[in-house]
Chain A
Amino acid sequence: MIPLLIYIAIFVAAFFLVTKVVQGAGLKDYTSLKTVTFGDESAVRPNRAAGVISILTIFLMWGIFTGSSLLPSFLHAPGPFEGTATFTYTAQVEGQAPDDATVTVVVHPREQETEAPQVEPGDGFAKNDSAAIAQWRTGLINVARNDEISKSDGNQVIAINGQKIAPGESVEVEGGVVTLSDKGTPNFQPTRGWQMEPLYLPAPEAVWVRSIEIAKEGFRNFTLLEHLGYSLFRVVVGFLLGALVGIPLGYAMGLSDWFRGWFDPIVEFMRPVPPLALIPLVIIWAGIGEAGKIILLFLAALWIMAIAARSGVSGVKISKVHAAYSLGASKWQIMRYVIVPNSLPEIFTGARVAMGVCWGTVVAAELVAAEQGAGMMIMTASKFQNTDIVIMGIILIGVIGFGIDMLMRWAERLLVPWKGKG
C-alpha cells in the first residue's frame, strides 16, 4: 500500500513539475497549437520526460525498498532492526515470588553467522538468557531452559517488560515484538521495517553484480551467452521452419478453394490453441531435447504465418490482378510480381507476432525442461532461491524480446516501404 502511494505521489508530482513548470514555455509546433487534444489521438504523443521519469521511478522504488547502496541512505525505507535488543520477562512458580530476568538478543544480517552473546546468569530462580536471530527471522527463546525451576515444574512466563502476557498475546519491546507461544515460550520477532528481504527482492546493484558474475563464470555449465543463444537459436529455427511451411500453405489457401476448404478447419482450430498447451504432448512425443522444443515453436509459428499469408493473398485488390493480366502477365508472373509483393506487409506483421509468440513459448518450454536456455536459467535459479538471477533473467528476456520486435520493425520498414500505401 505504501509503495503504491509513493508511486502515485511521484507520478502526480512529476506531472505537475514537468508539464506546468518545465515545459510551460515549450516549443510551439503544429500539434502543440491544437486546442482539441482530448479525443484527438494524433495529438497524443508519448511525453519523453514522462518516459524517462517512469523508468527512473521504477529503479528509485526498487532502491528505496531494498535499501540500495546506490541511493543515499536518507531515501531508504526504514530497514530491518539490526543490533542488540533486550527485554525482561517475569517468571512465576506457584508458591514463590515472581522473579525477573533479562533476555539479550543479537539481531544480525542473514549471511553473517553470529553466536548468542555470553550473559551473566543474574540472581533469583529465573536466569538471564541470550539468543542470536537473523534479520527477517523469528526465534523461540526457551527462557526456562537455564532457570532453577524447569517448565515442567510449573515455571511460567507471566509478563514481558512488566506487561502481563498470556499464551497467544504479544508485547512490543525494543527492536521487535515478543509473542508468547501456545506452550508459553516467548517468541522474538525483530522489527522488519518496510524494506523487502533480499531473498524476495535483491537490491538493483546485487542483481547487477550477479549478472556480471554469471556473464563471467556462466551458470550451470553454460555461459550466459550460451543460455540466451540456445533460446534464440530455438526461436529462430522454429520460426523459420514455421514460416517455410506456413507461408506456402497460406498462399495455397488464398489461391485455391480446395486448399482453403481442406485446411481452414485445421488452421482455425489450431490457431486458438495456446502453444503452451501443446508442451505436454510434444514432450510425450519428442522428449525434452532440442527436437521437442523446435517442434513446439514450429507449431507456434506455423498457424500464425499461414493465416498471415492467406490474408495477404486475399487482400490483393482485384484491380491489380486484372491490370497485370491485361498487361500480359502469366499466372506465374502474377504470383511473382503481384501476389507475393502485395502480401509481404501482412506476412511481416504475422512474422512479428509469430516471433513474439515463439519467444514467449520458448521461455515457457525451457521452464518445463531444458539443459540450457533463458527459461531454464530462471527456473533453476528460483529453485535455489537465487532471486537475483531470476530478476536478471526476466530483464534479459524482456530486453531480447523487445530487441526482436525492434529488429522486425526495422526490417519491415526497409523491405516493405509500401506497407499501408496501397
Chain B
Amino acid sequence: MTGLSIQNLSMRFDLPNGDHVQALQDVSLDLKAGELLSVLGPSGCGKTTLLNIVAGFLAPTSGKLVLNGHDIKGPDAERGMVFQQGALFEWMSVRENVGFGPSMKGTPKIDKDKTVDHLLDVVGLQDFKEKAVYELSGGMQQRVALARCLANDPDVILMDEPLGALDALTREKMQSLVLKLWKETGKTIILITHSVEEALLLGERLIVMAPRPGRIHKEYRLPFADLGVDADLREVKKHPEFGPRREEILNMIWDMEEEIMGGTEDAA
C-alpha cells in the first residue's frame, strides 16, 4: 500500500504545573501518494505538532503512522522537510546545500552533481551555484531549501509555512513553483500555512484544524491546485468558487479565534 496513513493520532503532554495539554486528539487522515494537502487552523491547533510527528521529530502518545506500509519511528530521508526559514547551512554554498542529502547517503559525485545541476535549473538558481546562501534573498533561499529537499527524492515533503516570511510578490512566484514541482515530481506534500488563500490555491485537499484539543474540524477537496498548475494563480483566484470558499474558511477560523479569546478571558 502506498501513501501516508495517520490513524487515531493523539498527543498529550504534561506541564510542570501539573496541568496537561491535549495538542492532538484522535486525528486520522489518509493521504494517497501524490496528494497535496494543505493544513489551516488558528494558532495552537496542533498543526505544527502534527507535522513534527509525521516528520518523526516527536513521538505521539497514541496512534499509528504508516508510510508505504511501514511504521514511522523517527526522522528519515523518505520524509523531506522545508522550514519557514533559517534551516539552510550557511557554512555551505548553494551547491553544497542542495547536495547535502545525496552526500550523506554517499551518492557518487557524478550522480550527485547531475541531480544538483538539474534541481538548480528547475528552481532557477544555476547562476548562484557557488554563492554562499547568506548572499541570497529570502525567496532564493527558499528555492534552495526546496531544491535541497527534492535532491533527496523523498516520498513525502513536509512544508512548515515555507513561504510565510516572503513578500507578497515573491510568495506568489513561489506558490507557482511549488505547484509546478508537485506536478512534475508527483510527491506527496503536506503544507502548513497561515494564509487561507495559499491553502486554497495549493491544497488539492485542505483540512481546517480546531484547537483545544487539536483535531480536524473540516476537510475539503478543491479544484484550484490542478487549475493553478497551468494557469496564472491570479486567474485561479477569479474562479467563482474561490471567493465563497475563502470567506467560509476565514469565518470558520475567525470564530475559533474568538472562542479562544473568550476562553482566556473566562479563565482570567
The distance in angstroms between the C-alpha atoms of A416 and B86, with both chains bound, is: 17
Q: Which residues of A contact B86 (CB under 8 A)?
A: 317, 319-320, 422
Q: Is B55 an interface residue (CB 8 A)?
A: yes
A333–B56 touching, CB < 8 Å: no
Q: Which residues of B contact A325 (CB under 8 A)?
A: 56-57, 74-75
CB distance from B188 to the nearest CB of A (A): 14
Q: Which of A319, A320, A327, A342 touches B101 (beta carbons < 8 Å)?
A: A327
Q: Is B242 an interface residue (CB 8 A)?
A: no
Q: Which of B55, B77, B89, B158 touches A328 (beta carbons < 8 Å)?
A: B77
Of residues 138 through 159 on chain B, the ones whose CB sits less than 8 Å from some CB of chain A are 148-149, 152, 154, 158
B100–A324 touching, CB < 8 Å: yes
B100–A327 touching, CB < 8 Å: yes
Q: Indicate the member of A320, A325, A337, A417 with the most B CB atoms within 10 Å.
A: A325
State how many residues of chain A have any CB contact under 8 Å with chain B: 23
CB distance from A5 to the nearest CB of B (A): 51
A328–B152 touching, CB < 8 Å: yes
B90–A418 touching, CB < 8 Å: yes
Contacts A322-B81, A417-B132, A418-B134; A327 near B87 (Cβ below 8 A): no
Q: Which residues of A contact B75 (CB under 8 A)?
A: 322, 325-326
A320–B152 touching, CB < 8 Å: no
22 contacts between A and B (CB under 8 A): A317-B87, A319-B86, A320-B86, A323-B81, A323-B83, A323-B148, A324-B104, A326-B81, A326-B154, A327-B80, A327-B104, A327-B152, A328-B104, A329-B104, A337-B100, A337-B104, A341-B91, A417-B132, A418-B90, A418-B91, A418-B134, A421-B134
Q: Which of A324, A333, A342 touches B91 (beta carbons < 8 Å)?
A: A342
B132–A320 touching, CB < 8 Å: no
- The tally of CB-CB contacts under 8 A between chains A and B is 76
Q: Is A338 an interface residue (CB 8 A)?
A: yes
A326–B89 touching, CB < 8 Å: no
Q: Is A330 an interface residue (CB 8 A)?
A: yes
The 8 residue pairs across chains A and B that have the minimum distance between CB atoms: A328-B77, A421-B134, A325-B75, A341-B91, A319-B87, A327-B101, A418-B90, A326-B81
Which single residue of chain B is at the shortest CB-CB distance from A324?
A: B100
The distance in angstroms between the C-alpha atoms of A342 and B83, with both chains bound, is: 18
Q: Which residues of B contact A317 (CB under 8 A)?
A: 86-87
Of residues 305 through 335 on chain A, the ones whose CB sits less than 8 Å from some CB of chain B are 317, 319-320, 322-330, 333
Q: Which of A322, A330, A333 touches B55 (beta carbons < 8 Å)?
A: A322
Q: Indicate the member of B100, B152, B158 with the most A CB atoms within 10 Å.
A: B100
